Structure 1
Amino acid sequence: MRILKGKSGEDKAAVFLKKNGYSVVKRNYRAKTGEIDIIAEKNGTLVFVEVKTRSSDAFGEGYQSVTHAKQEKIIRTAEFYLMENNPEKLCRFDVISIDNDKITHIINAFGA
């Protein structure tokens, strides 16, 4: 059930990004350090997106669960992506939180 909810949230996030002028480069990129839900691009900037989906606010908003440890894991995984693909682009890290179908896009949520 959790996997289906996460996949559904990632699908909604991808549609949201496309509607807002982003192109989705890769979904569910995996490296030995972890996974990045969505890698997108807009205006020459590569955007690594963590998607959090919640159907209840009992534990707060989804974006609140992106801890410092999770951020570090995403940054290390992004470094693997960059080494493999060697893009000469600006990069940033965003979080998309989907809480009871409300989408919150936090641009430049954390950084290296």
Structure 2
Amino acid sequence: MSKHKGDEAEKRAISYLEDLGYKIIEHNFYAKKLGEIDIIAVKNNIYHFCEVKSGNDYESAINNITPSKLSKIKRSLNYYLQIKKLNVAYCIDAIIVTPTNIDLLENITL
């Protein structure tokens, strides 16, 4: 997928979250040598570390969330909490963006 398509999917995901009442704290947070978190949002005092995946259909997008990717997100979010000195409730979410739909999967784990 091109960077342009990925950026567009993230913009759609941000708008979607805002419509649901989430406050966007940051997007494209990069933790050097650890990985990137696409969107960091807060709702009801819970931090949501969101991975955005897009594709032509739901299956192709969701299959890109691998154990390796989740591990990188976990390391990056721990780094984020440490540097921001936060002790908060949080979860890892996936936002699946297709040409016709957006799905939010809260609290994904393996």
Determine whether 1:12 maps to 2:12.
Answer: yes
Structure 1, residues 31-84: CA drift from partner, whole Å, max 9, x if none?
120100000000000110000111x23x93412210011000000010110011
Q: Secondary structure at the match of 1:6?
A: helix
Q: 1:51 corresponds to which residue?
A: 52
CA-based RMSD of the aligned residues comes to 1.6
Q: Which runs of 5+ in 1 are unaligned?
A: none
Structure 1 runs (4+) greater than 4 angstroms displaced: none
Q: 1:28 corresponds to which residue?
A: 28
CA distance in 1, matches of 2:81, 2:69: 18
Q: Which runs of 5+ in 2 are unaligned?
A: none
Equivalent residue runs for 1:1-112 within 5 Å? 2-32=2-32, 33-54=34-55, 56-57=56-57, 60-110=59-109
When normalised by structure 1's length, the TM-score is 0.91
How many residues were matched structurally? Answer: 109
Per-residue deviation at 1:110? Answer: 1.9
Q: Secondary structure at the match of 2:75?
A: helix
Letter in 2 for 1:30: Y
When normalised by structure 2's length, the TM-score is 0.92
